[in-house]
Amino acid sequence: MANVTLRNVRKTYTGGFEAIKGVNVDVGDGQFCVLVGPSGCGKSTLLRMVAGLETVTGGEIDIGGKVVNQVEPADRDIAMVFQNYALYPHMSVFNNMAYGLRNRRMPEAEIKTRVEEAARVLELTSMLERKPRQLSGGQRQRVAMGRAIVRQPKVFLFDEPLSNLDAKLRISMRVEIRKLQRRLNVTSIYVTHDQLEAMTLADILVVMNGGQVEQVGNPLAIYEKPATTFVASFIGAPPMNLMSTHPDEIKSQLGGAASQAGILGIRPEDFVMTDQTPSGGVALSLTVEAVERVGAETFVYGSRAQDAQRIAATPGELPPGEVIVRIPGTEAPAIGAKIRVAAVRNKLHLFSSDGRTRLEA
């Protein structure tokens, strides 16, 4: 059981590329921390630095009150689950799980007890004699989990452990991992690029972008009050609609607040189809371009009547001027129809023009 504290952690590769530009994160004992961000944001590098697989070029990594920058991976008392599971292909399931214990010279009888207990929890008992290649993806994943839990380490590290599984299995394993972590109460750091996984697993969510932390906090708090436009568009699906506050249509509705804010964000689920404008809120006129009906809900892709520019936070997302609206699945406006949607004041997110600062609406 241990805290994991990252103090101004940096990683600069020889050649000058700065992969991690000063990260501060504090993960409390038994907490589940999720690092989330787009590919190349440095989240995996950061995790590997905690594991000791990458050197730290600046700052301190502290596990359980001890700075481990110079400590070998074996001596950090961590266990890691890899994206490709990294099982030892020539060893049986039993030996895969026992390997770490044998290396630590644990008595064979205790190894047997621990491995069998882990196998029972993970429903692998009937497969202990098999080789990894005789297992399905989900089973391999569970062996990788088993290898981590038999060690009873201070910290679990997960590097996108579910990304090689099919969608259905991913959801059930996600729940399994969370249950297991709660029961064992081991501090965990989990890397993913899937914001849904991040939201559902995390006690603390760390949103990363370009080697920096964009925001740290409780997942729901981040969802409700994203600190930057990057976080706003990354957390939540479909992403938050971001638009310039300058067109008259919006400026007049926002009043004074618009003068400081450059960007207005509204989540698709915060829109209501209505002809009225809520006081202090924002109403938009849209022409329906496309409608996606997924059962419980309907997504409407509308273009703004005005020449307004929607600000694409990540290039290549929605075309400028397009707005996504989520409405109940029972409704479905016709394509080409003109609709009016509105959001109330406390559902508006205002950001500075560069998108780096959140302003109170």
Partner 1 sequence: MQKQAIFQSKLLPYLLVAPQLAVVLIFFYWPALQAVIQSFLLQDAFGLSSNFVWFDNYIELFKDPAYFESIVRTFFFSFAIAVSSLSFALLLAVMADKPLRGSMLYRTLLIWPYAVAPPVVGVLWIFMLHPSLGVLARYLRAAGIDWNPLLDSNQAATLIILAAAWKQISYNFLFFLAGLQAIPKSVFEAAAIDGARPMRRFWTVTFPLLSPTIFFLLVVNIVYAFFDTFGIIDTMTRGGPGTSTVTLVYKVYTDGLLGGNLGSSAAQSVILMILVIVLTGIQFRFVERKVTY
Q: Applying CB under 8 A, which of residues 84, 134, 285, 287 lies at the interface with partner 1? A: 84
90 scored as a contact of partner 1 (CB under 8 A)? yes
- How far is the C-alpha of 27 from the C-alpha of 170, rounded, in Å? 25
**Smallest distance, Å, CB 95 to partner 1?**
10
Element (H, E) at 144: helix 137-150
* Number of residues located near partner 1, criterion CB under 8 A: 24
Q: Is residue 87 close enough to count as binding partner 1 by CB under 8 A?
A: yes
Among 8, 24, 55, 103, interactor with partner 1 by CB under 8 A? 103
Stretch that binds partner 1, among 86-94, 216-224, 304-312, 341-349 (CB under 8 A): 86-94
Closest to partner 1 by CB, 132 or 321: 132
Q: What number of residues does the chain have?
A: 361
Minimum distance, C-beta of residue 103 to partner 1, in the bound complex (Å) = 4
Question: Tokens for 310?
Answer: 């929607």
Among 16, 65, 89, 255, the residue binding partner 1 under the rule CB under 8 A is: 89
Verify binding: residue 78, partner 1, rule CB under 8 A. Answer: yes
CB 324 within 8 A of CB 244: no
Return the residue of 142, 147, 304, 347 that touches partner 1, per CB under 8 A: 147
Assess 191 for contact with partner 1 (CB under 8 A): no
Among 1, 53, 220, 290, which residue interacts with partner 1 (rule: CB under 8 A)? 53
Q: Does 163 bind partner 1 (CB under 8 A)?
A: no
Regarding 79 and contact with partner 1 (CB under 8 A), the answer is yes
Looking only at the bridges linking them, the beta strands covering 204-209 and 322-328 are unpaired
Handedness of CA 359, 233, 197, 192 (dihedral sign): negative
Q: Per-residue DSSP letters for 235-271? A: SSSSPPEEEES-SHHHHHHHTTHHHH-SEEEE-GGG-
On the question of a cis peptide bond just before residue 153, with omega within 30 degrees of 0, the verdict is no
Q: Which tokens in the block code for residue 45?
A: 């590098």
The string of DSSP letters for 85-123 reads: ----TTS-HHHHHHHHHHHTT--HHHHHHHHHHHHHHTT
Minimum CB distance to partner 1 smaller for 80 or for 189: 80
- Asked if residue 86 binds partner 1 (CB under 8 A), the reply is yes
The DSSP code sequence of 311-322 is --SSTTSSPTTE
> What residue ranges bind partner 1 (CB under 8 A)?
51-53, 72-74, 78-80, 82-84, 86-90, 99-100, 103-104, 131, 147, 151
